[in-house]
């Protein structure tokens, strides 16, 4: 049995007034002895049905943590930023924000003259390849009939290889330009590369858009992603890096839902510090089935680190009394055998999250602390 569970059980039925018989032989009236301010006294009879538990304050292994701020972000593996692979003009919008789409679902249709030109290049190259193959067959037949020189056959073979290479190049350009879309003449249908929700639409019908490979930064037309799981990113100061490692438990809260706590584990810690901030980035994945967490939300982050040794008491031993935190310490007995409990203001590590709370000031090692029933003693004062 631990020290917290092995303490004495003390009952509290109200503040007792000690009656001391003074000079009873001379017929004098009894004098009532009162506890000094900040103390409560309990009689031996009340100890029989005690609801109060005391235990020795001692050094314990206490879970330590660091606090930092973070930001909610998309899981990069579950989001797509859709851009136009080729320059063109938007003619139709096929998906609006909030729509649930599957991978391959159409998002918009573009008129894309460059794509039409690329498709025409493919058709011309294919026609040239057909002609080159026909000429190669003819030269082989002539050589077999000894009606043509060998060098003419070699030239036909070389022309066929060049024509095939041109077809491959033209087809590759078309694939590059239409990406995951589908083409019909000069029109390109943009499609979602992932399943999820249309988070944003940043283009309207009639808008001219720049192609992805035209140089510069292309315009993001749609954002499609899944919010079932999101990333948390947070910064860890250089001094704390030795205490944070992948696998460490963490919890977060966000201003929008101050009474909700999400839990996760550190998945990754950056191997380099930011040159200006002198911090390293950590990342965790958080289950977000109800989509309460949204990208770009700020979060308060608590990361559990290795345990530390500290003078600690159970959280139940600390009682809030107005503006201060107090515990009750058993400080002995009166001459008449009443148990004495003194109110003791304490300062604790309020960032601690475990059942054991480090006491920074107000208690000494070995003192007997009320770990259950302190609120009853508070009512007696």
Element (H, E) at 171: helix 150-178
- Is 202 in a helix, a strand, or coil? coil
Residue 79 pairs with which residues in a beta bridge?
Answer: 225
- The reported pLDDT for the residue numbered 200 is 92
- The reported pLDDT for the residue numbered 32 is 56
For 9-62+309-378, which CATH class?
mainly beta
Number of residues that this document lists for the chain? 381
> For tokens 């510090």, what's the residue?
273
Inter-CA distances, 46 with 89, 282, 337, Å: 87, 55, 12
Q: Under a CB-based contact definition with an 8 Å cutoff, are residues 345 and 316 in contact? A: no
Domain 78-108+189-225 falls in which CATH fold?
OB fold (Dihydrolipoamide Acetyltransferase, E2P) (2.40.50)
Q: Which of 54, 47, 45 is nearest to 7 (CA)?
A: 54
- The reported pLDDT for the residue numbered 27 is 47
- The reported pLDDT for the residue numbered 239 is 82
Q: What is the DSSP string of 22-45?
A: -SGGGTPPPEEE-PPTTEEEE-HH
Cα separation, 81 vs 79, in Å, equals 7
Q: Under a CB-based contact definition with an 8 Å cutoff, are residues 236 and 244 in contact? A: yes
Cα separation, 100 vs 2, in Å, equals 55
- The whole model's pTM is what? 0.56
Q: What is the DSSP string of 248-296?
A: -EEEEEETTEEEEEEEEEEEEE-SS--TTT-EEEEEEEEE-TT--S-TT
Question: For the chain, which residues make up each domain, given as ranges?
Answer: 9-62+309-378, 66-76+226-307, 78-108+189-225, 113-185
310 C-beta neighbours (distance < 10 Å), count: 17
The phi and psi torsions of 12 (rounded to 5 degrees) equal -135, 115
Cα separation, 206 vs 216, in Å, equals 21
Q: Which of 230, 329, 233, 231 is nearest to 289 (CA)?
A: 230
Sign of the torsion angle spanned by Cα atoms 363, 366, 372, 378:
negative
Q: Under a CB-based contact definition with an 8 Å cutoff, are residues 222 and 243 in contact? A: no
Q: Which of 368, 357, 268 is nearest to 308 (CA)?
A: 357
Q: What tokens appear for 312 in the block?
A: 């600690």
352: left (phi over 0), alpha (psi -120 to 50) or beta: beta
Q: Which residues of the chain have a pLDDT value below 50?
A: 1-3, 5-27, 29, 180-182
- The reported pLDDT for the residue numbered 179 is 52
CATH superfamily of domain region 113-185: Helix hairpin bin (1.10.287.470)
- The reported pLDDT for the residue numbered 90 is 92
Cα separation, 42 vs 298, in Å, equals 51
What CATH number matches the domain at 66-76+226-307, 3.90.550.10, 2.40.30.170, 3.20.20.220, 1.10.10.10?
2.40.30.170
pLDDT tens digit string along 205-263? 999 888 777 666 778 999 999 999 999 999 999 888 888 889 999 999 999 999 999 99
Inter-CA distances, 214 with 83, 203, 206, Å: 12, 18, 20
Residue 185 pairs with which residues in a beta bridge?
Answer: none
Q: Which of 172, 170, 176, 205 is nearest to 85 (CA)?
A: 176
- The reported pLDDT for the residue numbered 235 is 93
Q: Which of 156, 158, 163 is nearest to 140 (CA)?
A: 156
Angle between helix axes 150-178 and 113-144 (nearest 10 degrees) is 160
- The reported pLDDT for the residue numbered 105 is 93
> For tokens 């909700």, what's the residue?
260
């Amino acid at each position: 049995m631990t020290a917290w569970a092995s303490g004495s059980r003390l009952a509290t039925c109200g503040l007792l007034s000690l009656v001391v018989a003074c000079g009873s032989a001379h017929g004098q009236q009894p004098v009532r002895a009162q506890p000094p301010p900040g103390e409560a006294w309990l009689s031996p009879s009340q100890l029989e049905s005690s609801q109060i538990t005391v235990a020795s304050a001692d050094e314990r292994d206490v879970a330590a943590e660091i606090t930092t701020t973070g930001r909610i972000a998309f899981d990069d593996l579950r989001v797509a930023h859709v851009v136009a692979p080729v320059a063109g003009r938007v003619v139709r919008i096929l998906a609006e924000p909030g729509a649930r789409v599957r991978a391959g679902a159409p998002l918009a249709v573009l008129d894309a003259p460059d794509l039409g030109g690329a498709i025409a290049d493919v058709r011309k190259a294919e026609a040239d390849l057909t002609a080159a193959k026909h000429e190669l067959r003819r030269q082989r037949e002539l050589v077999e009939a000894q009606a043509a020189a060998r060098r003419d056959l070699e030239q036909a073979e070389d022309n066929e290889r060049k024509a095939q290479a041109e077809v491959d190049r033209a087809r590759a350009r078309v694939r590059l330009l239409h990406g995951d879309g589908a083409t019909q003449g000069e029109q390109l249908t943009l499609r979602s590369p992932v399943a999820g929700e249309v988070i944003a639409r940043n283009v309207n019908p009639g808008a001219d858009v720049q192609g992805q490979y035209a140089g510069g930064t292309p315009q993001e037309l749609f954002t499609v992603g899944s919010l079932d799981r999101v990333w948390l990113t947070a910064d860890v100061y250089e001094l704390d890096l030795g205490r944070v490692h992948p696998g460490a438990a963490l919890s977060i809260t966000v201003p929008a839902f101050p009474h909700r706590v999400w839990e996760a584990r550190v998945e990754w810690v950056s191997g380099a510090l930011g040159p200006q901030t002198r911090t390293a980035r950590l990342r965790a994945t958080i289950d977000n089935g109800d989509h309460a967490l949204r990208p770009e939300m700020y979060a308060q982050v608590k990361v559990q680190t290795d345990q530390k040794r500290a003078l600690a008491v159970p959280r139940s031993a600390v009682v809030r009394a107005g503006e201060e935190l107090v515990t009750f310490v058993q400080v002995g007995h009166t001459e008449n055998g009443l148990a004495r409990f003194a109110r003791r203001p304490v300062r604790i590590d309020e960032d601690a999250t475990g059942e054991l709370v480090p006491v920074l000031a107000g208690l000494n090692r070995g003192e007997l602390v009320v770990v259950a029933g302190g609120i009853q003693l508070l009512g007696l004062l």
